[in-house]
Amino acid sequence: PNPFNPVTSIQFDLPVQSVVTLKVYNLLGQEVATLYNHELFDEGAGEAEFDASALTSGVYIYRIIAQAVVDEEDGTAGQTYIDVKKMLLIK
């Protein structure tokens, strides 16, 4: 989503059913938006729309945390995936 003005789409792909948290931060580390907060997603493609019309131009960081749901039938433990990416807002 680089650069974007003022709306962008953040896409992600989940290999298994997961609980997703997706937040956006400025370069000072201050949270500016929460797109998903511990929300359950099925495996496959997911997407979040980020509207930055109230923010100033600059660099923003988004962090996605996806924690796989534990399958009690086969005893598999849930793994956690964390990724951080940079976005450039130009108005």
For 58-71, write each residue's pLDDT tens digit.
999 999 999 998 77
More confident call, 7 vs 72 = 7
Q: Is residue 75 pLDDT above 70, yes or no?
A: no
Q: Is the pTM of this model over 0.75?
A: yes
Go through 25-60 and write b for each residue having 16 or more CB atoms within 10 A of its CB, e for each that does not: eeeeeeebbebbeeeebeeeebebebebeebeeeeb
Neighbours of 87 (CB within 10 A): 18
- DSSP per residue over 7-47, as a string? EEEEEEEESS-EEEEEEEEETTS-EEEEEEEEEEE-SEEEE
The CA distance from 64 to 82, in Å, is 6
* Both structure tokens of 30: 């201050």
More confident call, 37 vs 3 = 37
